[in-house]
Structure 1
Amino acid sequence: MTTSTSPAANKGRSAAGLDVSAAFATTLETPQHVQIAEELGFRRAWLYDTPQQSPDVWMCLALAAERTHSIGLGPGVLVPALRHPMVSASGAAALERLAPGRVAVAFGTGYTSRRAMGQRPASWTYMTRYVTTFRALLRGETVEWEGSRLRMLHPDESLPSAPDAIPVYIGAIGPKGMEIAASLGDGLFVAGAPVPEQAKEFSHVSYLALGSVLDDGEALDSDRLRTAAGPGLAQAFHVSYELGGEEAVKALPGGPEWLAVLQTTPEDQRHLAVHNGHLLHLNDADTAAWNAGAHTLVEHVTLTGTADEVLAKVQQLAASGVTEIMYQPAGDIRRELEAFADAVGLRR
């Protein structure tokens, strides 16, 4: 893996001994939020590739590059099934030219983005072919895709300054994905699951977390916390439904109420209802669950707690092999970024 020598390489280290980055559910306000993250000392900003609800991730990353000077930037995660590998390679090359030494790229099978459009995630076979082609294109090689030979024909000023200037992370949690991540990527990207035991075998492990630092004496059912940590909590319902169906959701506090709202949507459109507001806000079913008691889970399924409790959770992640925590704020973005930065010792 290429080690950046940019100013960002020395920023963003927490009191827990790992890098602290921000992640954003991409909106047109995200470039401004990335600027705030840079001011607070965050190591990198990862932007979601969720075209079913977000503006183009490359466009927003380019706008963020123009607003910032040192913070790392990257899509986390790119979904191969959404675009040709040449499009991804061209986007990564352009971003590297706009923000030299600051770019990383993460790929995933597209579990949420694909499910939200009624499709299955990409196969690991396809992922392997795609990422291998992407990396070869950035090295200037001629490759084969869909039966044709292709190569980046960009002028030199539009290409990365070095063949392997852009590190690649692979989103994975299961055995097959972990094997591919070890052979294909420069690091492991973990989202929506506990840290795999195999994570300790990787030198770079990025872990996505959502939640909120509680105000003094704040109740777990507060309106502020619902806005800030509710979107992270809702993923427990979304993932349970996608993986285990209705029975898995019924076992959760607020699960029956969540299902009752979801079932008012025609079955062939329920994937739209499930993923509406993904990591941005609570949809109608999520709100019903929260009000019916799901908020009691928030400290268990998200990175929520007092400042000391949040720091302790981050320290536990570091002990499990995580080298970079990616914190995604919701609601009042500045407040959430500031509170998290203070809790983990980023502003010390």
Structure 2
Amino acid sequence: MQVSCAFPTALSTPDDIAVAEELGYERAWIYDTPQQSPDVWMTLALAAQRTERIGLGPGVLVPSLRHPMVNAAGTATLAALAPGRVAVAFGTGFTGRRAMGHGAITWSFMDAYIRAYRALLAGEVIEWEGARMRMLHPDGHAPARPVEVPVLVGALGPKGNKVANELGDGLFVTLQQPDFMTEYSWVPYLAWGTVLDDDEPQDSDHARVAAGPGWALAYHGAYEFAGADAVRELPGGAAWMDVVERTSPDERHLAVHAGHCVELNEADRAAWDAGGHVMVRDATLSGTRDEVRRRLAELGARGVTEIVYQPCGPDTRSELARFHEAAAGVES
């Protein structure tokens, strides 16, 4: 199993990716979340300049955030800066849309967008929004077309699986593990958590800051996909909803997604203190070194070929090092 990493894009991300390369990580994926992050393409360009080997890519791009020509040009630029190291993943938009009050894009739009994006990189003329266009970059402005980079699709259901099968080179998954993972030869799985010391309780201060942001996704996801009643069924869920419901309904998504994948927000802290921390091992890839290795082996048996670990907390190097040491040698 390949061991890769991910980062919620921050000003420190280029340096964090350089650390990941030093520690032996295969690839670094970064998030396309403009409501809380610097620009994904600028950050990847800086990472390309500070690294030599590690793979680089957005994981995942949200199509509605940019015209396909913009993402095609960004991809071509990164491919020139880091030749042979670039891959691109697309998704329908969890944080990248819901944190701004929108639902996910439709799979029909995703299908049309990826077809247009891939055709642009191939040097073809496309039609988009009623106009015909192609990449016109002269020499020195982008690599010559075709620009060939692998494209992965983040999908959990049958509609997404169809698009990924037809248009993708792999399946990018997180939060859930669909049965159709086994149909793909390249399956990165994005996970959060931390390697605990053998005698460390799962409600330690270290666990809270290092695994907490990933654990909180259980509440964020339950709220977005199943509603308030589903959240209340979780340990600490009533406390979480009490905080969220202090915000008016038209701005409630702001309370839900504040700190998303980075730190615990007010609702998350309330749920943790109300006993929600009992879910840390179930909701994240957390445990002792041996427990993490067993979990990774199980993921490999289900079809995961690349674990994508997002560290959290103040000591990124330590979290990356602990996880890489635990994951090294796990076979898919």
Q: Do structure 1's residue 152 and structure 2's residue 146 form an aligned pair?
A: no
**Aligned residue identity for 1:277:** G
The answer (yes or no) to whether the contact 1:103–1:167 under 8 Å persists in 2 is yes
- Given candidates 104, 117, 128, the residue that maps to 2:111 is 128
**Aligned residue among 304, 320, 328 for 1:337:** 320
What secondary structure does 1:304 align onto? coil
CA contact (8 A) 1:200 1:320 kept: yes
* Alpha-carbon distance between aligned partners in 2 of 1:248 and 1:116, rounded to the nearest angstrom: 19
Which residue of 2 is the match for residue 215 of structure 1? Answer: 197
| 2:188 and 2:307 in contact (8 A); partners too | yes
Report the Cα offset of residue 111 of structure 1: 2.3
Q: How far did 1:118 drift?
A: 0.5
Q: Is the 8 A contact 1:76 1:107 kept in 2?
A: yes
Please say if 1:276 is aligned against 2:248.
Answer: no
Does the 8 Å CA contact 1:106/1:171 hold for their aligned counterparts? Answer: yes
Q: In the alignment, which of 14, 37, 41 is matched to residue 20 of structure 2?
A: 37
Which residue, 71, 92, 97 being the options, matches 1:109? 92
| Separation in 2, partners of 1:297, 1:161 | 50
Q: Are the counterparts in 2 of residues 19 and 324 from structure 1 also a CA contact under 8 Å?
A: yes
Residue by residue, what CA displacement relative to the aligned partner does 1:138-192 show, whole Å, maximum 9, x if unpaired? Answer: 0111110000011111123343466252000000010110111011100000012
Between the aligned partners of 2:219 and 2:138, the Cα distance in structure 1 is 48
Aligned to 1:192: 175
TM-score, scaled to structure 1: 0.93
Report percent identity of matched pairs. 59
Given that residues 61 and 90 in structure 2 are in contact (C-alpha distance below 8 angstroms), is that contact kept between their aligned partners in structure 1?
yes
Letter in 2 for 1:339: R
Q: In the alignment, what sits opposite 2:279?
A: 297
Structure 2 match to 1:8: none
Question: Which residue, 19, 43, 52 being the options, matches 1:60?
Answer: 43
Verify the 8 A CA contact 2:9 2:33 in the aligned structure 1.
Answer: yes
Alpha-carbon offset, residue 217 of structure 1: 1.1
Equivalent residue number for residue 72 of structure 1: 55
Question: What letter matches 1:181 in structure 2?
Answer: A
Residue type of the partner of 1:230? G
Are residue 287 (structure 1) and residue 272 (structure 2) matched? no
Query: Mean Cα displacement is larger for which, 32-41 or 153-162?
Result: 153-162
Corresponding residue for 2:236? 254
Is residue 163 of structure 2 the alignment partner of residue 180 of structure 1? Answer: yes
Report the secondary structure of 1:120's partner residue: coil
Helix, strand or coil: the match of 1:243? helix
- Find the residue that maps to 2:247 and give its secondary structure: coil
* Paired residues for 1:76-95 under 5 Å: 76-95=59-78
Supply the distance in 1 between the matched residues of 2:79 and 2:322 (Cα, whole angstroms): 30
State the secondary structure of the residue aligned to 2:140.
helix
Cα–Cα, structure 1 residues 345 and 251, in superposed 2: closer, same or farther, change >3 Å? same
Instruction: Give 1:292 deviation, angstroms.
Output: 0.7
Q: Is residue 97 from structure 1 mapped to residue 80 from structure 2 by the alignment?
A: yes
Q: Which amino acid aligns with 1:76?
A: G
Q: Which residue of 1 aligns with 2:248?
A: 266
Gaps of 5+ in 2: none
Q: What's 1:324 paired with?
A: 306
Query: Does the 8 A contact of 2:122 with 2:148 survive in 1?
Result: no
Q: C-alpha distance in 1, partners of 2:297/2:143?
A: 36
Distance 1:66 1:52 in 2: 25
| Structure 1 match to 2:125 | 142
Q: Which residue of 1 aligns with 2:9?
A: 26
Judge conservation of contact 1:31–1:63 (CA < 8 Å) in 2: yes
Displacement of 1:305? 0.3
5+ residue gaps, structure 1, are 1-17
Contact persistence 2:123–2:145 (CA under 8 A) = no
1:187-241 CA deviation, whole Å, 9 max, x = no partner?
0000121x21111111111100100000231111111110000000000001101
CA distance in 2, matches of 1:325, 1:46: 11
Q: What CA distance in whole angstroms lies between the structure 2 residues aligned with 1:105 and 1:156?
A: 23
Deviation per CA, 1:47-80, whole angstroms, max 9, x where unpaired?
0000010000001000100000000000000000
Contact 1:97-1:158 within 8 A present in 2 as well: no
Distance 2:98 2:145 in 1: 36
